[in-house]
Amino acid sequence: MEQKSMEQERSNSKSRDTSGVVPQPRILERGDHGISRNKIDRDALRALYRLIDEGHVAYLVGGAVRDLMIGKTPKDFDIATDATPRKVKRIFRNCRLIGRRFRLAHLHYHGGKILEVATFRSSGEADEVVRDGEMIHRDNVFGTPGEDSHRRDLTINGLFYDVSNFTVIDFVGGVKDLRDGVVRMIGDPERSFHEAPVRMLRAIRHSGRTGFQLSGETVAAMERCRGQILKANPARLLEEFYKDLGSGHARNYFQTLQQLGYLDLLMPVIADWMEDSQGLDPWLAALDRLDGLVAAGQRVHQAMGITALIAPELLSHLDTLIHRRSSSTHLPKSVREGISSVLRQLKVYRRDEERLRKGLGSLALAHRCTEQGRWSREAENSPWARDSIEILFILLGPGDGRAELLEQARSFPEADLPPPRVRRRRPGRSQGARQDGPASPSTPSTTEDPSSDRPKRRRRRPRKRSSGPSEGGTSW
């Protein structure tokens, strides 16, 4: 069965093999893995069968196989195939290609659902892989299923499910680690962390979500490579944090970051609060409440997730915020400066930062409503009431009527910021930048108004260049 499966993969695969010999996979028959097609997304099944009908190898991969084997409902259903991205686009009319480092195909469906289809990757030894030191910057080299499985991060994420014969294919020992409850890197963990430092965070994430233990060699490599995390792209790190804040396992994840010393590197301002229980306990409690909201199926905006992450800093300013008399949502300077240092370290998106500030600026209004035991008309008309009571709930818990008011606020329209302003291009000289009314596309007249701005600018420029910068001028 194993030899037949490998021969089929080699004959169907159109990709390059540059890594030499790949070990024979372990094949689990239908009765040995417990995966049922009834638990697989219908659109994902159709996409798999469509690729197979077109003569390609196509497997369900990664977290979907892992979750199905341990009895969980997968959040995403990713597909790996030997079809190149261009071929996938020709097969599916709902396909869009994305990515630079490695091209991916996204299949778009009704309701915003997206299925990710990736072409099998090579072992990474090909000349086309560009490295900066040991960090991979471009990885558009296609390969075989065996090579692709060895390019993944964790053994438990390196499994394939073949819908054509209902088998699980394991090149990396992921089945054993799943059954033993171990999170282990594929290959040399130290090299893996140097190639992609964010993999250290992923290992911690999956340990927290599954309850599995990190393997000994993985923990040792993480301790040696901890400083490499500072080389990761800040925007990528923020996206990873957003994923974990909304996962329902934020407490386990960030507590592990703190215990392993990553918090000191990534968020030193927050780490300083964790030196004693006065900072640690409220922080873990806020993350617990955030997990509770997610577990209850509540929709929590990522800006509110940041509230839990920087809870120690916010709690230090809470008394100032809830006892303000001003109806303005603008924060006092001391509060603004305090949280800005944390948000700058996290590289939080400007729109999320602005939404958080607006919610914090309305805490006094929400606090007065908790004292009265009901929403006032002013609060009901405020676009930030829902965010402000959610912030109070995360920071202080459900007492004093906060849980009841939060439940009522679920019916309030969700706050949203206006779209970012589009910067207008500065009109050119020929468009009469300082003239009243719209500029004419034709050549402007200079005879009607001898005191117009345009001739003045022309006369001033030579004097500036010859005599140096004028007094009080601005350097751009």
Which residues belong to the active site? 76, 78, 153
Separation of CA 66 from chain center:
21
The rounded distance, in Å, linking the Cα atoms of 330 and 336 is: 9
Beta-strand relationship, 114-119 and 78-81: parallel
Six token digits for residue 15: 């990709």
- What element of type H or E holds 210? helix 199-210
User: d(Cα 472, Cα 476) in Å, to the nearest integer?
Assistant: 13
Q: Report yes or no: 312 and 283 within 8 Å, Cβ to Cβ.
A: yes
Q: What 3-state DSSP class applies to 118? A: strand
158 and 186 in contact (C-beta within 8 Å)?
A: yes
- DSSP annotation string for 261-300: THHHHH-HHHHHHTTSHHHHHHHHHHHHHHHHHHHTT---
Angle (deg, nearest 10), helices 302-309 and 350-361: 70
d(CA 41, CA 135): 35
Rounded to whole angstroms, the Cα distance separating 431 from 445 reads 11
SS3 call for 398: coil
Between helix 302-309 and helix 311-322 the angle, nearest 10°, is: 100
Residue ranges in 425-467 assigned as alpha helix (H): 453-467
CA atoms within 13 A on the CB side of 182: 16
- How many C-beta neighbours within 10 Å does residue 384 have? 22
Q: Specify the residue for token string 């929400």.
A: 366
End-to-end CA distance of the chain: 70
Reduced to 3 states (helix: H, G, I; strand: E, B; else coil), residue 312 is helix
H helix or E strand, kind and range, residue 147:
helix 145-151
Quick count: other Cβ atoms within 10 Å of Cβ 438? 9
